[in-house]
């Protein structure tokens, strides 16, 4: 089918960076992230790049919260590696790409505002750069309904390599706090390993945890006891997929007020070593529909 002439829009890219001291939180420069053409636009990709001198980072070291007007799009500072699928292990240390399932509409004059938090996992200052890729919408192409993302996460306690244990998320973390149902795009799972001897953080590919997941509707949808009654918590990579660190969803809906409880069982590691610690992260990326009223989300 031929494209409709004039309906393609014009490409748009916006980028800004902020430097964070350990423990601090700061907004990226808002003006740099505002569409300079003064027209409606939509964002299709979000890139986050981290850099620090003298430190090895992972996407756990910085959290990001996103706000669009009065809408909070995250449950606080979500570790930046939980938004998109892992795309390539080699660059996974410091560059994260989120290809949005639905374009995120930003009305004329509006800004998608990111605020970053240095999570104090390293003492060095971290520079976080965010880039939006999208397009300026054609004149008259303002949608009547928009999709807004909702990204939430839970981080387990930090475990020593040599210990076993169990931790579960609470009902306020992997939740749908909105008044409408949300469509789940993916569940993301990441493991951060810290090597004390070398003072380095890595995205771990070994198996530190078994996972079970339960919904507040009573469904144990991962790790349900088998017919013989034994627990069936599964290895982390079998749930979240080794290649992408995400479990892509098809048609999963979370009703208002519902939540998932994630339980991580820390197992003894395949990799042994000195004083190493490991921490699990589980995130959910979802979408809800909102009506547009007078240029603003309803």
Partner 1 sequence: MATYDMPVILNTSWTVRAGQDSSPSRLADMVNAYKQPMLIDEIRFAATPAPGGGTLPYGRIFRSSVRMALGRFQITNEFIPMDVLAPRAPGPGEVILPLSRPLYMGNTYLLEPTIRSTVDFTMNLTLVGRLTEPVALGAKQWVPFISAWQTPTASTVGQTLNVKSPRSAFVNRFRTPLYVKRFVGYRAIGGGLATGAIDISVSNYLGKPVLRDPTPFYELFTPVDRMWAVETELPPAGFFMFSAAVAGTNFGNYGRISMFGYREEQL
Partner 2 sequence: MNPRTASNVIEQFFVNSFPTVVGTSVALEPGGSNQQADHDRLVNPYDNAMLIDEIRFRTLSPELTPFLMDSSDPGRSTYNYGGTVRVMFSLGRTRFSRVPIPLGCFAPPIVNDGPLVSDFGVSTDTAEAKTIVVVPGAHPGRISMGYFRWVLPRSVLVPAGMVLDAVFTRTDDGIVDTTTVPTPPSAVRVDVAYAGRVARGPVPGNLTIPVPYVGLFAHDFTVPTIAVSGENDLSNPFDQPLHVQRLIGRLQTIYASTKGAALNGRSIALDQSCLDDAALTYFPGVTLRTFEDFNITRVQLPGVNIFEGYKRSLSLNTTLQKNQGFQVSVDGSSGLPATGGLDGFIEPGLNTAFVTMVGWREEKL
Footprint of partner 1 (CB under 8 A): 2-3, 5-6, 8-16, 32, 36-37, 44-45, 47, 49, 87-88, 90-91, 95, 97, 129, 131, 133, 135-136
Of 28 and 182, nearer to partner 1 (C-beta) is: 28
Helix (H) or strand (E) holding 240: helix 236-240
DSSP 55-80: ----TTSEEEEEEETTEE-BSS-EEG
Residues whose CB falls within 8 Å of the CB of residue 142, separated by 6 or more in sequence, listed in order:
40, 105, 107, 292, 295
The site partner of 27 among partner 2, partner 1, none (C-beta below 5 to 8 Å per kind) is none
DSSP 7-39: -S-EEEEEEEEEEE-TT-EEEPPTGGGS-TT-S
Of 46 and 282, nearer to partner 1 (C-beta) is: 46
DSSP secondary structure code for residue 124 in this structure: S
Q: Which stretch binds partner 2 (CB under 8 A): 109-117, 145-153, 168-176, 270-278?
A: 270-278
Of 141 and 290, nearer to partner 1 (C-beta) is: 141
The site partner of 221 among partner 1, partner 2, none (C-beta below 5 to 8 Å per kind) is partner 2
Q: Does 22 bind partner 2 (CB under 8 A)?
A: no
Q: Find the binding residues for partner 2 in span 218-257 (CB under 8 A).
A: 219, 221-222, 224-228, 232, 234-235, 237-239, 241-243, 247, 249-253
Q: Minimal distance in Å, beta carbon 136 to partner 1? A: 8
Q: Find the binding residues for partner 2 in span 156-215 (CB under 8 A).
A: 184, 187, 205-206, 215
The site partner of 11 among partner 1, partner 2, none (C-beta below 5 to 8 Å per kind) is partner 1
CA distance 47 to 257: 30
Which member of 2, 53, 144, 272 binds partner 2 (CB under 8 A)? 272
Closest CA to 259 of 60, 28, 75, 57: 75
The site partner of 44 among partner 1, partner 2, none (C-beta below 5 to 8 Å per kind) is partner 1
The site partner of 187 among partner 2, partner 1, none (C-beta below 5 to 8 Å per kind) is partner 2
Q: Minimal distance in Å, beta carbon 66 to partner 1? A: 18
- Cβ count within 10 A of residue 290: 17
Three-state secondary structure call for residue 293: strand
Classify residue 61 as left (phi > 0), alpha (psi -120 to 50) or beta: alpha
Question: 275: buried, middle or exposed (CB in 10 Å: 19+, 13-18, 0-12)?
Answer: exposed
Can you read off the two tokens belonging to residue 279? 């921490």
Separation of CA 165 from chain center: 25
Of 135 and 142, nearer to partner 1 (C-beta) is: 135
Question: Contact positions toward partner 2, by CB under 8 A?
Answer: 88-91, 184, 187, 205-206, 215, 217, 219, 221-222, 224-228, 232, 234-235, 237-239, 241-243, 247, 249-253, 270-273
């Amino acid at each position: 089918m031929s494209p409709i002439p004039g309906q393609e829009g014009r490409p748009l890219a916006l980028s800004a960076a902020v430097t964070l001291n350990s423990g601090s939180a700061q907004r990226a420069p808002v003006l740099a992230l505002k569409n300079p053409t003064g027209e409606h636009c939509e964002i299709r990709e979000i890139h986050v790049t981290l850099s620090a001198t003298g430190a090895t980072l992972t996407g756990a070291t910085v959290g990001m919260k996103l706000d669009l007007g009065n809408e909070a799009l995250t449950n606080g500072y979500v570790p930046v590696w939980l938004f998109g699928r892992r795309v390539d292990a080699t660059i996974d240390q410091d560059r994260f790409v989120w290809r949005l399932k639905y374009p995120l509409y930003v009305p004329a004059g509006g800004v998608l505002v990111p605020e970053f938090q240095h999570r104090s996992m390293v003492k060095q200052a971290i520079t976080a750069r965010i880039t939006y890729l999208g397009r300026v919408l054609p004149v008259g192409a303002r949608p009547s309904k928009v999709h807004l993302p909702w990204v939430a996460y839970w981080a387990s306690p930090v475990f020593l390599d040599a210990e076993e244990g169990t931790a579960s998320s609470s009902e306020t973390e992997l939740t749908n706090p909105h008044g409408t149902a949300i469509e789940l795009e993916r569940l993301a799972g990441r493991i951060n390993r810290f090597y004390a001897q070398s003072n380095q953080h890595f995205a771990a590919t070994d198996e530190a945890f078994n996972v079970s997941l339960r919904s507040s509707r009573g469904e144990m949808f991962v790790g349900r006891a088998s017919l013989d009654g034994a627990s069936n918590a599964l290895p982390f990579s079998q749930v979240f997929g080794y290649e992408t660190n995400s479990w892509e969803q098809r048609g999963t809906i979370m009703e208002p007020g519902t939540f998932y409880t994630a339980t991580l069982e820390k197992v003894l590691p395949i990799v042994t070593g000195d004083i190493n610690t490991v921490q699990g992260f589980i995130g959910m990326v979802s979408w809800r529909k909102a009506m547009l009223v007078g240029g603003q989300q309803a």
